[in-house]
């Protein structure tokens, strides 16, 4: 385990306790990723994607030729 210092390792308990802790941790992480599209955190991702799309579209030539008749 990289995130736990050596002095805390023996205090973690048996293999069964570690397995339960791992299952709880993975459940929390999975719940976070499943609910992320509906939370405020996703706004940053969607906003960045929209700005990138706008920048790409802005660089492409105008096919409609608006304003030139």
pLDDT tens-digit map of 2-39: 665 555 555 556 888 899 999 999 999 999 888 877 87
Helical H runs in 4-67?
A: 15-35, 41-59
- pTM passes above 0.85: no
How is residue 54 written in tokens? 């706008």
Q: For position 39, what pLDDT does the model report?
A: 79
How is residue 48 written in tokens? 């960045």
Q: For position 22, what pLDDT does the model report?
A: 95
């Amino acid at each position: 385990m990289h995130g736990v210092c050596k002095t805390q390792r023996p205090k973690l308990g048996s293999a069964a306790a570690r397995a339960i802790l791992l299952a709880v941790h993975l459940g929390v992480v999975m719940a976070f990723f499943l609910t992320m599209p509906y939370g405020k955190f996703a706004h940053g991702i969607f906003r960045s994607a929209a700005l990138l799309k706008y920048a790409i579209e802005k660089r492409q030539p105008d096919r409609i030729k608006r304003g030139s008749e």
